[in-house]
Amino acid sequence: MHEPKVADKNTSFWWEAAPVKPLPRQPLPQKLDVLIVGAGYAGLSAGMALAREGRSVAAFDAMNPGEGASSRNGGITSGSIRPDYATITRRFGEEKAIAIEAEGKIAREFLYDFIKTEKLDCDFQLIGRFTGAIGYDQYEKMARSAEALAKRLGIESCAVPHAEQRSYIGTDFYRGGTVRMDIGGLHPAKFHAELLRVALASGLTVHSSTPVISIERDGAGFRVVTSAGTVQARQVLVCTNGYTDGASPFLRRRLVPVRSRIIATEELAPETMARLMPKLMMMGENRELGFYYRPSPDGSRILLGGRDSSRVGDPAAPTLRLRNGLVELFPELEKVRLSHSWFGNVAMNRDMMPRIFEKDGVVYATGFCGSGVVWAPWIGTRAAYKLMGYSERARTAFDFRPPAFIPLYRGNPWFMPAIIQGYRLQDRIALWRSRR
């Protein structure tokens, strides 16, 4: 049966201005200092840092460079860590929690500085993010966190009571919220294209549509089999995140690819945008399966994203679910046309922390849990320094043990739809409680 089309196109809105494309075929090197698997933000950032230090380095990507999450995401420079401060303290101790929170600030500044220094044309605006509270209890808690963030790290953040909410967002759905000004938005596909441009100019070679098939120890180095032939590499860095496949069986059993989907509205009237998103900020909310949303860089559309529990094909239901969410927030958009709906994979792991780790000599930079716009360039670059033995520059709170093994899991996340349903139920109960 043919499903009705909910959006005009099922491809990334970002590809309209910055399409992903293959690179000219490169001769296969016989030997490399470093071979990188994956040419998203992490792989390119690492490759660029290595090439700038004179290493012979090539990145191999199974698809067009950027065709993974790096040209499909929301472009929100959140640099979030899923577990909250209290949970990280409980699990890893207070020292680590402080270091992780502080590193979020440094990683965001690293990204902003990089965009500025390299003059990357990627529509970046440090415009701030509003996060909505679904109930007054949640609002009180969030207001305290905003105050603590300002005190601990000097980040400009504040609470917005319900009565003032409409100067940030044209909805009554939330019971107030918080704003932090260290988060902004960029055009993710333009950012990737620009990162690729400077990485190539720095001496990185990128082989597109050339999957790595296997990585084996060979004396002091590695024998890497690709679809184009075999390469000897002194070191290997894996940056495959939500697209990890059988070439990295160790990682595949520890990372769960989960679909995240975004819908884009047709162009809206300027008065509508001024009413719904008066400050053109990035937007988020504090639900288990909360939406993230934002204006398009030209301020003419709304792009709204959230979890997609589908696993195969491109069914209509997840787009309809996001559309319903959009209309619940902004009832006046009931008849809006969607121009685009697309999905990509984010990578979750058991403790929901991004990291660098090493296993059998291979280094991994991965596990960005849906917040890789900030974390992938930062952690990719730290991984490059680690490979070069620059211990001071490689220093990061995210270089630690591999993610935990997931029982009964070999790369097929059969349990995800049930987990997402469970979160959905939790969210419904929380919303119902907060509105009693």
Least CB distance from residue 246 to ligand FAD, whole Å?
8
- Residue with Cβ nearer ligand FAD (174 or 293): 293
| Shortest Å, Cβ 425 to ligand FAD | 23
Q: Is 368 in the site for ligand FAD (CB under 6 A)?
A: yes
Instruction: Out of 20, 43, 143, 233, name the contact with ligand FAD by CB under 6 A.
Output: 43
**Would you give the binding string for ligand FAD spanning residues 256-295, x where CB under 6 A is met?**
----x-x-----------------------------x---
What gap in Å lies between CA 171 and CA 166, rounded to an integer?
A: 7
Q: Which stretch binds ligand FAD (CB under 6 A): 35-43, 92-100, 315-323, 329-337?
A: 35-43
Shortest-Cβ-distance residue relative to ligand FAD: 372
Min. distance of Cβ 348 from ligand FAD in angstroms?
A: 11
Please report, as residue ranges, which positions from 158 to 217 form the binding site for ligand FAD (by CB under 6 A): 211-212
Under the criterion CB under 6 A, does residue 305 sit at the interface with ligand FAD? yes
Does position 367 bind ligand FAD by CB under 6 A? no
Residue 274 or 280 with smaller CB distance to ligand FAD: 280
Instruction: Work out which of 131, 138, 157, 241 binds ligand FAD, going by CB under 6 A.
Output: 241
Looking at the Cβ atoms of 231 and 376, the one nearer to ligand FAD is 376
Binding positions for ligand FAD, rule: CB under 6 A: 37-43, 60-63, 67-70, 72-76, 78, 211-212, 239-245, 247, 260, 262, 292, 305, 344-346, 368, 370-374, 376
